[in-house]
Amino acid sequence: MTVHVRLMPTLHQMQIGILALSAPERINAQNLSMVRQMTQALLQWQAQDDVVAVVLIGAGERGFCAGGDLKALYEAMMQPEQIAQGDAFFAEEYALCQMIRDYKKPVLAWGHGIVMGGGWGLFAAASHRVVTESSKLAMPETAIGLFPDVAASRWLPELAGYGQFLALSGAAINAADALLTGAAQWALPDAKRHSVLAELAGLPWQGDVSDAALLDDFLSQQISPSLAAPHLTAHHDALQDRDGIEVSQRCVELRNFSQSADPWLAHAVERIYKASPTSLWLASTLQQRCKTLSFPATVQLETQVSAACLRYGDFSAGIYATLIDRSSKPRWQQTDLMQLDQMQLAEAFPMLF
């Protein structure tokens, strides 16, 4: 797995950095090497005055990025001497997302197809976010014993009041939902992916703060595709964030929709039933904690929690059941969300107590 790094010359003697995630057989899932490739390129381009913008794209038709390389993380967890590799992956992946968020040049992310987990983290950090008619965005970590990370504890609550539901259920939203919630600013046709990138070379880039508005105008002038109706608006009141209630109570409320006539909602609620109770608690606790934190502080806290997850047991159990034996029946450390062992949680996740 690798990232293809290149510079595309413009017609006005500037350059655009292209970072193409190139592991289509894994829907461009990231490993530590890929994270480091992107970090190195971004650091180099930041210092080059003739590099005016950066584009993040994913190879293949299946999607932009499905997240992290879970099998590599599982192998790290199974070998104590290798677990530091897992720590490094999360710490450097989160730092990469923070770098993209703080980047001084426009960063365009083309989020076609699958945009999930760490892939959504990369996408969310970009200043200019494009979805297509094939886009499916989700943070499904509670299903594998992790939590919505890559600073999602901070940015999911900003998505028009749906962050809590999206974190707990891992539900996949479509392009119309992404526009509705602000997860993306533009929808463009899948078929235009390569031609839009080529057209960027013809824009009159200046190499200054005006370039962000230039890219805004260019994307806004493109013809949008016909999109499927959003999933979220049909259930707006039911899915809005509920502050001040226990995660167990909120999950009970959401589970009342398990027999919904809308298969999308019924499936999302079913995912809550199957999720790790500890992960549901982590997702809710982190959202509450990070609402008032800065993005850097959120990244710092999530880095500590992800390291704890590597050692807790649910994360390895979730990956094993999902990708190794494919039973979809992970053996969680705790099985009852209504009666979580707080002493066990405090021992495993002291940074949250």
| Angle, alpha carbons 300-212-28 (nearest 5°) | 55
What separation in angstroms does the CA of 138 have from each of 54, 174, 178? 24, 9, 10
Would the pLDDT of 1 be above 70? no
**Residue pLDDT, tens place only, 116-164:** 999 999 999 999 999 999 999 999 999 999 999 999 999 999 999 999 9
pLDDT for residue 80: 87
Q: Where are the domains of the chain?
A: 2-352
Instruction: Using a cut of 0.95, tell me whether the model's pTM lies above it.
Output: yes
Which residue's structure tokens are 């987990």? 117
For 2-352, CATH gives: 3.90.226.10
What is the rounded distance in angstroms from the CA atom of residue 152 to the CA atom of residue 167? 8
Q: 21 with 34: CB under 8 angstroms? A: yes
CB 276 within 8 A of CB 318: yes
Per residue in 266-276, pLDDT (tens digit) is 999 999 999 99
What pLDDT, in 10s, does the model give residues 154-179?
999 999 999 999 999 999 999 999 99
User: CA torsion sign, 261 to 264 to 266 to 269?
Assistant: negative
Place of tokens 């059941």: 321
User: pLDDT > 90: what percent of the chain?
Assistant: 98
User: How does pLDDT run across 229-245, given as a tens digit for each residue?
Assistant: 999 999 999 999 998 89
Phi, psi of 142 (to 5 degrees): -65, -20
